[in-house]
Chain A
Amino acid sequence: MTETMVGILLATLGAGTPLVFAALGELVTEKSGVLNLGVEGMMIVGAVCGFAVAAESENLWLGVVMSVFAGAGMALLFGILTLTFQANQVAAGLALTIFGIGLSAYIGLDYTSVALTGIQQIHVPVLSDIPVIGPLIFSLDPLLYLSFVAFGAITYFLYKTKTGLLLRAVGESPESAVSLGYPVIAIRYMAVLFGGAMAGLGGAYLALVYTPLWVEAMTAGRGWIALALVVFSTWRPARVMVGAYLFGGVTIIQFHVQGFGVDIPSQLLSMLPYLATIVVLVLISRDINTIRLNAPASLGKAYHPSV
């Protein structure tokens, strides 16, 4: 019984981690006032590029690095469109996703049947062998630890550093930030690029850890869920984590339910994680004051420098 529980928890962490990366990245982007709807596209391009490089070089970490750059590259494209040329953010984001899905299918043509051994869990002597705590704390895969670090670092950055404060201020009122002499566009570029890099990492986790293989459209809407997580978590990192693991948990449980042969169409069960995550997050974030206090007021609006 304990072993099953530990198994479910581990699988939950694994299923939630791509979302953790992508949603935390998007959170930083949105905090600067930019709405990038291209998360799905950046994630899947990150996944296929990482997988391709890992397969060719037989170096998984080179693959991870490639994913990060690929995600950031996609984000750069979005940044040029929306920040330099002031294109509509919603339209540009949607286009980015469609472009990313198509591009990834093309890049991935030769890799659909390639088998790869994914990134493995670490093993700490003695500690990893402690029952329950061992597998849950001391023998996870390195990227999972990185996602925890990313959560801590982003929270610290946003709420404890002056640069983080500035990022939030730019999302709140770019006009005020400019009148104080801050480079709004440059700050937004940084935030957009970071968001892309994190989405790429999310893709890497999918293709190199979670299911170490490449399948067309393998992100399966996780980019969209990441976007929803950011909104329904009212732009707070801790709630993003809760939402991501909730999604992961429901995903795993519905697999088990299917495994028991319960007489519910599998399509309905596959819907469950998406549905449950959104319902729960909507319920815990109904308070309009928290939304107003945490939502970036200029989200999605292009900033036209007038001077």
Chain B
Amino acid sequence: MTTNESTNLEPRLELRGVTKIYPTVVANDDVNLKVVPGEIHAVLGENGAGKSTLMKIIYGVTRPDRGEMFWEGKHVEVSKPAEARRLGIGMVFQHFSLFETLTVAQNIALGVDEPFDLQQLSDRISEVSHRYGLPLDPKRLVHSLSVGERQRVEIVRCLLQEPKLLIMDEPTSVLTPQAVRTLFETLRRLADEGCSILYISHKLEEIRELCHSATVMRGGKVTAQADPRQETATSLARMMIGRELPVFEHGAAKGDGTSRLVINGLSRRSDDPFGTDLKDLHLEVKGGEILGIAGISGNGQQELLLALSGEKPLDRSDAAAIKIDGHGVGHLNAAARRDLGLTFVPEERLGRGAVPPMSLSENSLLTGHRNGMVRFGLINNNKVREFAEKCVKNFDVRCGGVQAAAKSLSGGNLQKFIVGREILQKPNVLIAAQPTWGVDVGAAAVIRQELIDLRNEGLAVLVISEELEELFEICDRIVVIAEGRLSPVKPTAETDMEEIGMWMSGLFPGEEADNREIAHA
């Protein structure tokens, strides 16, 4: 049954005037939304636009301050997820709601409201997962699953309830392009069977490809209703961020092509039993280039970053496994490596990149103290303030002055400050992990342009990111990390997302495809 021509169908879900106010922010402001049976409806917006809050209200996790919800024409109050499930609403969370040390079947048992019989449930899981082309082994422990497989667990958990409305919160942010295609097939099939789908995303191309209609949100308000199939990515972006998407200029780089950061045969066992061991990594980052490392999270990125930043130095005998401008630094700690001109922007802004309750000027002292801010163990507060002010000014950090606490800044502004702090120290090598994660489009553009400028200055820049689009935008060369191994390096111009996506699932040249399967991703 195809129900996509749905203009005169009764809405399955309707929201009227939903408002949710948190102490510091209005998350939803008078939001209206209508979804009809069989429709894939996009909710489009930037980070912080209020999409996730709205979905939590529909699923009964959060209660709205004002507004009404209608289900199949009837007024309903959903105060718990169990009630939402009873109505036929299923939700796949952005940060999965799974328990790592339990099996697939046990996880699913906790999310369905029915008698507890693991054996019978396992049979149904196998049956449903095969029917929808989402193979799952009910007996596996969740921590041993890849990110894509974990998402399958969440989807199958919803499908077992035979939902009438499925909410998908940023479902593709963790998937390879190939896995995204499989997911879309499943969703289209569900919609054809009459299930409504609310698809939350900020990825414009995906929405144009998949969705029948779109509600665009900005700053907690609905700013537009559109048919994404009739729109271009540019017009959707304008609705979402209120202006045009920025374009990047690469220009010529100064570098003379010498290798500034060299990884030579780096192997290491992970301390975390669920971590990934690094296996004989080789990589050279030249002056005047941005090298990107792509990969699905949990494939050794954390371990590689700890080894590169010096937070977990190697043994003295492995000193030569990491070289900065010819110096073997493998055994040196983070401070000693910074003395040699390495700077590092970690993934976690609060707690690792900055101390949340400390002011911006105190935070600039943390890594900037080499620049004459400390003499004979005493802090020169004027110098520190000057440095922080320069950073705020040069990098367009919007804040309440340099005495503002780091935690009071928005993610994008704090990230601009941290990147700026590292750049102002005139490094030789910059390593950035997920530099624009959770950052709004405007700030992300500033940060990406800064990285490109550094490259033009002749620095070596290494970027580790899960966002393929970002890597293709800014990198000169690209490499994939999968299961603790590195793929061959390719100039960005000579490859495409298709190939890199394939490599991300562990299948790249020189890698024996022993017991690995594509489906693993």
Contact = CB atoms under 8 A, between A and B. Distances in A.
Interface of A: 161-162, 165-166, 168-169, 172-173, 175-182, 288-289, 292-294, 297, 307
Interface in B80-114: 80-82, 85, 93, 96-102, 106, 109-111
12 contacts: A165-B102, A165-B110, A166-B110, A168-B99, A169-B99, A172-B102, A173-B97, A179-B81, A180-B81, A289-B273, A292-B273, A307-B63
A123 to B, nearest CB: 41
B109 A176 contact: no
Given A165-B102, A176-B99, 5 more contacts: A168-B102, A173-B100, A179-B81, A297-B100, A307-B63
B440 to A, nearest CB: 22
B376 interface: no
Given A161-B116, A288-B273, A289-B273, A180 B110 contact: yes
B98 A176 contact: yes
B60 interface: yes
A181 B102 contact: no
Contacts of B141: 293
Nearest to A164: B116
A172, A173, A180, A289 interface centre (most CB from chain B within 10 Å)? A180
Q: Which 7 A-B residue pairings sit nearest by Cβ, starting from the closest?
A: A181-B81, A162-B116, A176-B97, A179-B97, A172-B99, A169-B99, A289-B273
User: Main secondary structure on chain B at its contact with chain A?
Assistant: loop
A195 to B, nearest CB: 21
Nearest to B60: A181
Given A179-B93, A181-B82, A169 B61 contact: no
A179 B90 CA distance: 12
A175 B93 CA distance: 12
Interface residues of B, number: 25
A180 B106 contact: no
B146 interface: no
B62 A307 contact: yes
A307 B61 contact: yes
Interface in B116-137: 116
B109 A165 contact: yes
User: Main secondary structure on chain A at its contact with chain B?
Assistant: helix
A288 B269 CA distance: 14
Contact of A179 (B61, B102, B274): B61
Interface in B253-303: 273-274
A166 B102 CA distance: 10
Contact of B102 (A169, A175, A178, A307): A169
A165 B102 CA distance: 9
Contacts of A166: 110
A294 B61 contact: no
B109 A292 contact: no
A182 B109 CA distance: 13
A180 B110 CA distance: 8
Contacts of A292: 101, 273-274
B106 A165 contact: yes
Contacts of A165: 102, 106, 109-110, 116
Nearest to B91: A179
Contact of B100 (A172, A178, A307): A172
Contact of A180 (B62, B63, B100, B111): B111
Contacts of A176: 96-99
A297 B101 contact: yes
A180 B97 CA distance: 7
Contacts of A161: 116
Interface in B432-491: none
B271 to A, nearest CB: 9
Contacts of B273: 288-289, 292
